Amino acid sequence: MAINFSNALGIHEQALVLRTQRTALLANNIANANTPGYKARDIDFAAMLAQANGQSRAIGMERTHQRHLSGSAEASSPEILYRVPAQPSLDGNTVDEQVENAEFARNALEYQATFQFLNSKFTGLQKALKGE
C-alpha cells in the first residue's frame, strides 16, 4: 500500500513553505528599515494557508482519457501585500522596526512549532513502517 504524504502530513507541509516565504519578506523589511521610500511587505498567512489547503481558487483539469490523472492547479506563490504604517515617516519608508521584529519572532516561533510537528509525523511514519 502506497503512503500518501498529503494525507499523512496534512496542511503542515504547506504551512512550513509559507512560513519560510514569510520569514524572507520580514527579514527584507528589517534590512530595509532605513531605506528611504521602502514599503514594508507581508503576506496574509491565514488566507494563503486556506488557499494551499484547497479552499479557494483551485483550477480543475480536464481529463480527456480515462487513464489520465485527475488533479487541480493552484496559485503557488503568495500574494504579497503592503503593510499600512501606524505612523508614516517623512522619507516614505513604512517599516516599523518594532512591528517587524515582533512579527519576525512570532513567525520564527510558529515555524519551529510546525517543523517539530512535521518531525513527529515523520517519526511516527518511520515507526509504522518498521512495525514498532
CB atoms within 10 A of CB 74: 13
Residue 109 has pLDDT above 70, yes or no: yes
Residue 6 has pLDDT above 70, yes or no: no
Highest averaged pLDDT of the listed ranges 11-20, 74-83, 95-104: 95-104
Backbone φ and ψ of 59, nearest 5°: -110, 115
pLDDT band at residue 18 under the 50/70/90 scheme: very high
Residue 92 in domain: no
Residue 63 in domain: yes
pLDDT band at residue 11 under the 50/70/90 scheme: confident
Residue 49 in domain: yes
Residue 66 in domain: yes
Question: In whole angstroms, what is the distance from residue 131 CA to residue 125 CA?
Answer: 10
The residue range of the domain holding 116 is 10-71+97-127
Residue 32 in domain: yes
Kind plus residue range of the DSSP H or E element containing 89:
none
Residue 132 has pLDDT above 80, yes or no: no
pLDDT at 58: 46
Residue 76 in domain: no
* Number of domains within the chain: 1
Residue 107 has pLDDT above 90, yes or no: yes
pLDDT at 104: 97
Percent of the chain surpassing pLDDT 70: 77
Residue 2 in domain: no
pLDDT at 73: 45
CA angle 43, 22, 94 (to 5 degrees): 60
Residue 55 in domain: yes
pLDDT band at residue 57 under the 50/70/90 scheme: very low
